[in-house]
Amino acid sequence: MNNIKQKGSSTVEFAMLLPLLLLLILMVSEFGVMFYRLNAVSKSVQVAARYLSNNNTTPPPDMAAARNLAVYGNTAGTGTPVVPGFTAANIDITNPIAQHVQVKVVNYDSNFILGDALNSLVGRVTGGSVPMTLHASSVMRFAQ
Domain extent at residue 51: 10-141
Does residue 5 fall inside a structural domain?
A: no
pLDDT in tens, 28-56: 888 888 889 899 999 999 999 888 888 76
Does residue 116 fall inside a structural domain?
A: yes
pLDDT in tens, 105-119: 988 887 777 766 665
pLDDT in tens, 75-93: 888 899 998 888 888 888 8
Does residue 1 fall inside a structural domain?
A: no
Number of domains in the chain: 1
Does residue 3 fall inside a structural domain?
A: no
Does residue 29 fall inside a structural domain?
A: yes
Does residue 49 fall inside a structural domain?
A: yes
Beta strands in the chain, from DSSP E residues, in sequence order: 91-94, 100-105, 108-110, 132-134, 137-141
**Listed residue (101, 103, 97, 98) closest to 71, CA to CA:** 103
Q: Are 102 and 93 in contact (CB under 8 A)?
A: yes
Q: What is the pLDDT at residue 72?
A: 93
